[in-house]
Structure formats: structure tokens, C-alpha cells
Structure 1
Amino acid sequence: MFTIATPKTEKELEDYFHFRWQWLREPWGYPIGSEKDEYETVSEHRVILNPSGEIVACGRIHLNTSEEAQIRHIAVDKRYRRKGVGQIILSALESVARDLGAERAVTNSRETSMSFFSACGFQIEKEAPNELGKLKRTHMFKLLVDNNVLVLHPKWCQELQSTWHEQIPITEHMGIKLYQYTERTIETRASLNKNINLHGSMFAGSIFSQATLTGWGMIFLQLKQKGLVGEIVLGDGNIHYHKPITMKPRAVCNIESVKARFDLLTAGKKCPIDLKVELHDGDTAVAEFIGKYWVLPPQD
């Protein structure tokens, strides 16, 4: 049985980098240290461990932009090749990319690994600079689409995401993405890396912002469903924190928690809306936000 792990301690990182050098640099006569570059501290690193705790595969991923993640340094011990281990490490890195909010993954593949990436859904885009000055590479990409995610009314959802980025720029800097919408539930996700504090957890202010925007998004999409228009503003918001977020920031708002007087809006009056947003770290509930919003009717 294999285990996916993140090297964290000094010894774990030392073993990880040595494994990378052993399989990606030593065969070409490059010294220890050549396996590292300037992106190490801003990257996510993963290893695959066998039942004895030995590294049998590794890989790294970092963001080029808020929408694009680059996969590098995938290596598999030759004793474990063609056993599905390469697919496991690649899948783990793609999962990290999705959690960071990336919409596509890219890699600069050597000729010997192009068939592997092609079999895993990557497509050739263009030539890439040679590695180490002599290894020919090809730039490949893959769109990161989660087929298990349900997004109804995709045009409305895209309009919401665009509205956030254009009118509330902090959403893009925080990596907040609309993850799911089912008419009854909205879920957003945020990038932990873009909101992490010195304790390795998400800033409390970032959690509050994600909760506020999730509630705002639910109202936006409810207005679309009802054929109504108006300006959404936050009147008051309170949040209770139970646990820190250290892995996967998620915010969920269910229609059952929304109390609204949309009839007032149709009469040209401002509409009060109360709702609740639940914050999760993966599947663990960590906070609860209670918000009061107003929808102001359009001005003639």
C-alpha cells in the first residue's frame, strides 16, 4: 500500500531532494544541489511512500498565475515504474492544483515522458526550452475539470466569478473560486497558500471575507433565478471560529438558511436577507458566519 505525503521536517526534505537528484540529475552527471531552483519555497511538494516508508516517487507543483499551475520534477524509482505509481503522484499534484484554484496544469515534458503525460490527459501546446541545456522538452497542458462537480446555470456562475474579480479584486488575490452551485447550495473554495499566516493556518480575516463573498454569491444567483435585479450590500456579519483552517478552505451556504423578502424588491423597496455560511477545512466544520444583507432596488 502506498501513502501520499508532504515532506516537512528537515530530514524528510533532505530525503526528498536527494531522491530528486538521484533520479533526475545524477544520471546526467550533475552535482547535488542542481536538483533545486528558486521556486522551492513557493511550491507544494509531494512524495509517495511504500509500506516501509521509503520514497518511491516524488513531484512538485507551483502556481504560474492564479489560473495556471506548473508540475515539475516527477520522478519514480525504476523498481516501481509501470506499476501505476507515476499516475498516483501526478493525480496528487493535480488535486493540489485544483485546491489552489488553478484551472489548468502545465508541464515541460522530456521526450521520454511525453507518452506518460499524454495518457494522463495532457496535450502538446508548444516547444519548451531545453532542460540542463541539452534535454529537449515539450510544453504540455491539461484542463483541470472535476467531473463530480455540479454547476447549474454556468453562464450565471461565470458572470458571478467575473463580477467578483472586476468589482471585488481581493477575490482573485485570495484565490476564491465558485466551486459548486445546485440552486439549493453554493460552495466556494479559496487558496490556503495565498491566505496563510505565520502559524501555517488561514488568516481569520480571509475566512471572514470568503464567508461574506459566499453569502453574497448565493444572493446574486438567487436574484438571477427569480429574474430580479438590485445592488447587494452587507449590513452586518458575525463569525464564530471553532478551529483553524490548515488544509482546504471551503465555504457552503444552503438555501434553507436564507431568509429573504424578495416581494419587497419587486415593490421597489429594499429587501433584507439573513443567511448562514458554514466554513470547513476539508470535511471538518471550523466556523459559522451569520450575515445580514440588503438588496437595494435599481434607481430610476
Structure 2
Amino acid sequence: MYKVDTPISDEDFEHYFHLRWERLRQPWNFPLGSEKDEYETVGEHRMVRDSQGNVVAVGRVHLNTAEEAQIRHIAVAKSAEGKGLGKLVLSALENEARRQGATRLVTNSRELSIPFFSACGFEVEQEAPNELGQLRRQQMVKQLTDMNTIMLHPKWCQLLQETWHDTIPISEQMGIKLHQYSGSTLEVRASLNKNINLHGTMFAGSIFSLATLTGWGMIFLKLKEKDLTGEIVLGDGDIHYHKPITQEPRAICNIETLDGKFSLLERKKKSCIKLQVDILDGDTPVAEFKGVYWVLPSRDDPTP
């Protein structure tokens, strides 16, 4: 399981900057300290921790103007490559830029990073100044709109959203919307105003529904990616609440938490999938949901 955090303590920043230096400066023989610049105190920093608390991905965003935010220094530990953590960090930084009112996102990308940023909706605009006088870069731009958050397989994501609303009408009444999908991480959000109780917080039942639909949605998308079909049902769900939700309900499911064999469906057998969904209020973790789902072979396919 991976968790996005904001570094706060001196120890947090020590690990944060060391990973940045290790991945972005050391390979070119730049000394410790070269990983920092004049925007550290005005920027917003995010990092990802693994289940052991190790910092495995980092990144920063700062405002150039009231309308333009700049992404810099995204780095992922070598041991954690290929898990979608770069996109997880970028998503957190993009959300912060949107929160601050930015309508345009820019980054000065090295050649090797252009495919990554292109996949996240950025386009090359012009050549940027060389980094530290040596490393060639291209300026890439993303116009921030409500519709261009990171979304892999947008047609399947749209189908999932329609499936929720068509088959579970309460999901539309709750304002549940798929926010983004990177292939490894699914984030779903709900409207607090549509789920608020007399204490000004989100109903516990609404939180549970948000969590179960998010887990269901992750399995739905994985079935599509594997070209499999099946009926997804919740077998068991357990949720632990730590704090109330008072601002922004978010549910995040990471592929690393999935445990089960989709391949059983190929033999027309039911498959048991276990997973975890983390519930956040903005960036603050408030609950964890652990679900057991069964995927039953399509009714058109007789089960032996």
C-alpha cells in the first residue's frame, strides 16, 4: 500500500531531498545540495511512502503566476519503478495547483521524461533552458480543465461511471464520480453536501458506500484490461473510521492491495478478490476499508 504525504518534519525533508538528489542529481555527478533551488520555501511538496514508511516518490509544485503552476523534481526510487507512483505524485501536485487556482501547468522535462508527461496530458511547447547548464529540456504544458485529469482508458472509465448511475441510482444521488485512473490507482470522489449529517460531517453509511463502489470499480476496470467478463459482488466489507469527513471525500484504491486470481474466470470459475480502499478528507487519511469481492463467470458462460 502506498500513501501520499506532505513532508513536515526535518526528518521528512531529509528523506525527501535525498531521494531527489539520488535520482535526479547523483547520476550526473552533481553534489548534495544541488537538488535544491530558490523555490523550496514557496512550493508545495508531496511524497509517497510505502507500507514500511519509506519515502519512494517525491515531487514539488509552485506558482509562477496566479494562473500558472510549475511541476518540478518528480522522482521515484529505483526499487519502486513501474508501480505508477510518478503519476500518483503528479496527480497530488496537480490537485494542489488546481486548489490554488492555477489554470495552466508547466514542466521543463528531460527527453527521457517526455513520454511520461505526454501520457499525463502535457504537450511540448518549446525548448526550455538547460538544467544546471548541461541537461537539455523541453517545456511542456497542460491546460487545467475539469475534464483532463489523469485518466487511462477513458472509454472504460466512462462506462464504469454510467454503470454506477444506471444500476446503482443512489451513486448519482451521492454525487459519486470517478476522478482519475492511472492503471495502478483509482480515485473516486463524492459530494459532501449530498451526504452531510446534522453534525456537518459525512454519513458513515455514505463513506462505506463510497469505499465499496471504489473497490468494485477497480475490479471492473481490471476485468476490462484483462479482456474478461464477470458479475462483481461484494462478499464482505470491513471499515475502520478514525476521523470524520468535513471537507473533501476521496476514496483511493491501489493495485498493490489487490489479492486474487482473475485467471480462474478463464476456466469459468468464480474468483475471490481482496483489496483495500483508503478514505481521505482532502489529503488527510480518515478510514480504511477492506473488502472481499467475488467475480462470478458471466451468466452466458455455464459454470462447470
TM-score range, shorter chain: 0.5 to 0.7
2-side partners of 1:195 and 1:145: how far apart?
A: 22
Name the residue aligned to 2:229: 229
Name the residue aligned to 2:283: 283
1:233 is paired with a residue of what secondary structure? strand
1:101-120 aligned within 5 A: none
Tell me how far 1:95 sits from its aligned partner. Answer: 6.2
Name the residue aligned to 1:240: 240
1:220 to 2:220 alignment: yes
2:197 is paired with a residue of what secondary structure? coil
Name the residue aligned to 2:146: 145
State the one-letter code of the partner of 1:237: G
Residue segments in structure 1 that go unaligned for 5+ positions in a row: 1-83, 86-93, 97-142
1-side partners of 2:244 and 2:276: how far apart?
A: 19
Residue segments in structure 2 that go unaligned for 5+ positions in a row: 1-65, 68-97, 101-143
Tell me how far 1:298 sits from its aligned partner. Answer: 1.1
Tell me how far 1:263 sits from its aligned partner. Answer: 1.5
TM-score, length of structure 1 as denominator length:
0.52
Name the residue aligned to 1:205: 205
2:239 is paired with a residue of what secondary structure? strand
Tell me how far 1:146 sits from its aligned partner. Answer: 5.3
State the aligned residue count: 164
Tell me how far 1:144 sits from its aligned partner. Answer: 5.0
1-side partners of 2:172 and 2:99: how far apart?
A: 20
**1:140-185 Cα shifts (integer Å, max 9, x gaps):** xxx95254x2001000000000000000111100000000101100
**1:226-262 Cα shifts (integer Å, max 9, x gaps):** 0000000000000000000000000000000001211
Name the residue aligned to 1:249: 249
Name the residue aligned to 1:43: none
1:246 is paired with a residue of what secondary structure? coil
**1:9-62 Cα shifts (integer Å, max 9, x gaps):** xxxxxxxxxxxxxxxxxxxxxxxxxxxxxxxxxxxxxxxxxxxxxxxxxxxxxx
1:22-171 aligned within 5 A: 145=146, 147=148, 149-171=149-171
Larger Rg: 1
State the one-letter code of the partner of 2:207: I
State the one-letter code of the partner of 2:213: L
**1:109-155 Cα shifts (integer Å, max 9, x gaps):** xxxxxxxxxxxxxxxxxxxxxxxxxxxxxxxxxx95254x2001000
Name the residue aligned to 1:269: 269
1-side partners of 2:262 and 2:152: how far apart?
A: 22
State the one-letter code of the partner of 2:229: V
2-side partners of 1:191 and 1:144: how far apart?
A: 19
1-side partners of 2:238 and 2:160: how far apart?
A: 24
Where in structure 1 do 4 or more consecutive aligned residues deviate above 6 Å?
Answer: none
2-side partners of 1:95 and 1:231: how far apart?
A: 38
Name the residue aligned to 1:196: 196
Tell me how far 1:299 sits from its aligned partner. Answer: 2.0
**1:182-228 Cα shifts (integer Å, max 9, x gaps):** 11000000000000000000000000000000000000000000000
C-alpha root-mean-square deviation of aligned residues, in Å?
Answer: 2.3
TM-score, length of structure 2 as denominator length:
0.51
**1:65-107 Cα shifts (integer Å, max 9, x gaps):** xxxxxxxxxxxxxxxxxxx89xxxxxxxx969xxxxxxxxxxx
2-side partners of 1:277 and 1:259: how far apart?
A: 13
Structure 1 vs Structure 2: percent identity of aligned residues? 67
1-side partners of 2:201 and 2:166: how far apart?
A: 27
2:288 is paired with a residue of what secondary structure? strand
